[in-house]
Amino acid sequence: MRKTLEQVIEAFRMDEQFKDQIEHVRVIPATAGDYAPLPADLHPKLRSALEKRGVVSLYSHQREAYQFARSKQSFTAITPTASGKSLCYHLPVLQTILENPSARALYLFPTKALAQDQKSSVNALIDEIGEPILSYTYDGDTAPGIRSKIRKAGHIVMTNPDMLHSGILPHHTKWVSLFENLQYIVIDELHTYKGVFGSHVAHVLRRLQRICAFYGSHPTFICTSATIKNPKQLAENLTNTTHQLIQKSGAPTGKKTFLFYNPPIVYPTFGIRRNAILEVKEIAKHLYESKIQTIVFAKSRVRVEMLVTYLKSLTAKRINDESIQGYRGGYLPSERRAIEKGLREGTIQTVVSTNALELGVDIGQLQACIMTGYPGNIASAWQQAGRAGRRQEDALVVYVGQSTALDQYIMNHPSYLLKKSPEEARIFPENMLILLDHLKCAAFELPFKTDDFYAEFDVEDFLDFFVEESILIKTSDTWHWMAESFPAHEISLRSASQENVVIIDQSVPTKTRVIGEMDRYSAMTLLHDEAIYLHQGTQFQVEKLDWEEKKAYVTEVDVDYFTDANLAVELKVISEDKERQFDGFVVDYGDVMTLATATVFKKIRFGTHDNIGSGPIHLPPEELHTSSTWLSFEFPDGWKEEELSSAMTGVAYAMNSFIPLYIQSDRSDVHVVPQVKAIHNGQPTFFVYDRYPGGIGLSERVYDLWEPLLERVYEHVEACPCQNGCPACIGAQDAGETGKEHVKQFLEKVLKRG
């Protein structure tokens, strides 16, 4: 019998099986919509096309967007899932093209799947308008036969940053129609352009603007983003333009109930909880039987498959029952439309997906969402949670925590998830290596004249450097490209160093293919022989890392453990650029040189975190010159070196877990290293450095955040229910029974926290 969601939630909370694990319940009340009339100047065909779809008025944010766009004001809109974000750009773009058929727009999406979806949806709208407006995707999959047409006549060109970087900008003379008439550049999912990738894209956009100026156009930027702390700052850094910010969504929302569900502790000494996936199974089953349309997010394909298999066993007796669907990345638009349809018609009941689905791709809305663990940042968490809730109906989100520090932190601080995001997305276009790489591309694209700037950068010295390198030659007032190479091919947008390790999947011997790249530094600890490497939710094992050739050969596997490698790091301070004090401590920011040697790796079982094996790593040490912040203090009285070392290791582990709370970064972007006796001053020191040559701006931010970071560590260790330390707080320690005590004492007495 079909119950209302309200009833199901009540029943769930009372259920013997579940009720003790529900640590918190939070309800976000429904909100009314904030509406605005359709703009008066709207082209009649556009107006009637909208009306045919039932759009008779706009949400306030859509109207604001239209106004900004039409008055040529660049802006960024925060657009939660299901808030009609695409009209924020389609509307002003289509209106402009209808008024002036030679106008053009460029849409940037981070993935092809998103681009394809948006192309389908805008083409549907264009069909209803009934005017000849041409909209195409232009990427690696575009058939050669229509490329010429798109270049000459495409009103809306949809592409991704990689294609723009190496397929369009270096061939800009073939795109004269586009660049001469470019009115709008749409950047969707702005928050994905962070870290190294975002820094690269910031340059691609600067090169784009330079080329537009050459052809005489000055396009307006339209950006949409999920919730981050600093959307305006990110947008302005990314595009080198001033933005207005649209913060509030006018879309109405239904009541959302959040259940924070913590699996029971099964090993109290170690603080280990029951495997989250087992809990998720039960909850999903319960919702299925209550006939609530649910989406379940799991972290890897293996887990997705496990859940789908388990849930399908519930329907085994019914023939042709499609009610349980697994979703992985790489589905065609037609397959996604089929899922959407199934959900609408009620034939699909439960969708189980990896995090691949979270990136804005539309499959319709569901009633409930189960999150297996914290997806690592708030924007992703909200994109997952945002899948639950059809306009103005009730929704349920169940967050199931795993045994990691971050997950447990969220479990204990529900307001972190529910309030405005404190996570910043940072980019660092000033990174020297990245800047030089793109300056080369810019010089290839259009010669620089003396007194020319490259965006906000003064680059004469760099251009002269390129002359010495026989890449450019200088005539009286101009630097010309004079080399055989094609610089865009020498850069990977997702890495800061050249000479990346290429990852080759040889699971099928006759069909080996490159699945990704990784910078050398990270490769040492993530791609060593026998490492388990997770790629878009699929597990691979590294069969061989050919360091000479910079190739890692991997095969798909299905195992129940992960690997963790130790890095022995020697650190040397090269320069101090900033210094400040707090509570008697000195913190600095500057350049460091690290020499890292990967030594051994451990195999650690999921869930229990047992150490089930280990092995040596045979790789030469890697040097890394980067930015770092560090905190030094006097060697405390009464402490033995061993004790101090172990306590500092625990604190470093915890710090590493919490940095992502403040800055959107992966654990591998920043590295925390404790040293009992630092080389530069002989004192115990915590180093936090960027894992990319030249620095990427993250440690610079941490320089300002030492106090809250240490507070957070203390609170968390204090509150952790384990006895002697666990992966959820200070890491699985070998220090026996006193490890956690020492850390607490260290934090209280030496670092004066609490």
3-state DSSP assignment of residue 598: strand
For another protein, give the closer residue by CB, 173 or 575.
173
Residue of 740, 727, 734 whose CA lies nearest to 606: 727
What is the smallest separation between the CB atom of 510 and another protein, expressed in angstroms? 16
Q: Which segments of 492-640 does DSSP mark as H helices, in order?
A: 520-526
Name the residue nearer to another protein (CB basis): 211 or 369. 211
Contact 751, 633 (CB under 8 A): yes
Please identify, using beta-carbon distances, which residue of 150 and 308 lies nearer to another protein: 150
| 677 vs 672: CA distance, rounded Å | 15
Q: Minimum Å distance from CB 152 to another protein?
A: 13
For another protein, give the closer residue by CB, 170 or 333: 170
Distance CA 229, CA 423 (A): 5
Residue 316, C-beta contacts closer than 8 angstroms, at least 6 positions apart: none
Helix (H, G, I), strand (E, B) or coil at 195: helix
Identify which of residues 470 and 510 has a Cβ nearer to another protein in the complex.
470
Nearer to another protein, 176 or 595 (CB): 176
Count the neighbouring beta carbons within 10 Å of the beta carbon of residue 6. Answer: 12
Smallest distance from another protein to CB 171, Å: 6
Give me the least distance between CB of 147 and another protein, in Å please: 13
Task: Give the E-state strand segments of 619-704 in sequence order.
Answer: 622-632, 670-675, 685-690
Residues 6+ apart with CB under 8 A from 406: 374, 376, 657, 658, 660, 661
Strand partners, 108: 159, 187
| Residue 157 or 710 with smaller CB distance to another protein | 157
Nearest distance in Å: CB 531, another protein: 38
Residue closer to another protein (CB basis): 221 or 466: 466
Dihedral over Cα of 648, 375, 501, 563: its sign: positive
The letter for the amino acid at 456 is: E
- Looking from the CA of 12 toward its CB, the CA atoms found within 13 Å total 29
Whether residue 520 contacts residue 550, with contact meaning beta carbons closer than 8 Å, is answered with yes
Contacts of 724 by beta carbon, 8 Å cutoff, 6+ apart: 269, 270, 733, 735, 736, 737, 738, 739, 740
**Cα separation, 416 vs 420, whole angstroms:** 8
Q: In the bound complex, what is the minimum distance in angstroms from residue 148's beta carbon to another protein?
A: 11
Give whichever of 409 and 466 is closer to another protein, judged by the CB atom. Answer: 466
| Total H helices, total E strands in the chain | 23, 32
β-sheet bridge partners, residue 220: 184
Cβ at position 173, least distance to another protein in Å: 4
CB of 176 or CB of 612, closer to another protein: 176
Minimum Å gap between C-beta 221 and another protein is: 24
Nearer to another protein, 181 or 241 (CB): 181
Q: If we measure between CA atoms, which residue out of 372, 332, 326, 331 comes closest to residue 350? A: 326
Which candidate, 367, 278, 283, places its Cα nearest to that of 11? Answer: 283
Q: Amino acid identity, residue 114?
A: L
Is the Cβ of residue 179 or residue 714 nearer to another protein in the bound state? 179
Between 136 and 479, name the residue whose CB sits nearer to another protein: 479
Tell me the closest approach of the beta carbon of residue 170 to another protein, in angstroms: 4
Q: Residues 6 or more apart from 434 whose CB is under 8 A from it? A: 196, 199, 200, 203, 428, 496, 694
CA 434, CA 497: separation in Å to the nearest integer? 8
Q: Which is nearer to another protein, 483 or 567 (CB)?
A: 483
Q: Closest approach of Cβ 182 to another protein, in Å?
A: 16
Report the residue number, 446 or 515, with the smaller CB distance to another protein.
Answer: 446
Compute the least distance from the CB of residue 140 to another protein, in Å.
16
Nearer to another protein, 129 or 488 (CB): 488
Measured between alpha carbons, how far is 574 from 593 in angstroms, rounded to an integer? 7
Please answer whether residues 697 and 426 qualify as being in contact, where contact means their C-beta atoms are separated by less than 8 angstroms. Answer: yes
Please report, as ranges, the residues that interact with another protein according to CB under 8 A: 170-174, 176, 443-447, 470, 473, 475-478, 480-488
Q: How far is the CB of 157 from another protein (least distance, A)?
A: 18
**Cβ proximity to another protein, 453 vs 486, nearer residue:** 486
In the complex, least distance from residue 203 CB atom to another protein, rounded to whole angstroms: 16
CB of 323 to another protein, least distance (A): 32
Terminal-residue alpha carbon distance, the chain: 53
CB of 447 to another protein, least distance (A): 8
**Which pairs with CB-CB distance under 8 Å and at least 24 residues apart come from 719-724?**
719/412, 720/271, 720/408, 721/265, 721/268, 721/271, 722/268, 722/269, 722/270, 722/271, 723/268, 723/269, 723/270, 723/271, 724/269, 724/270
> CB of residue 150 vs another protein: minimum separation in angstroms?
16
How many other C-beta atoms lie within 10 A of the C-beta of residue 83?
A: 23
CB of 483 to another protein, least distance (A): 7
Residues of the chain by 3-state class (helix, strand, coil), percent to 5: 40, 25, 35
Residue 244 is encoded by which pair of tokens? 């207005």
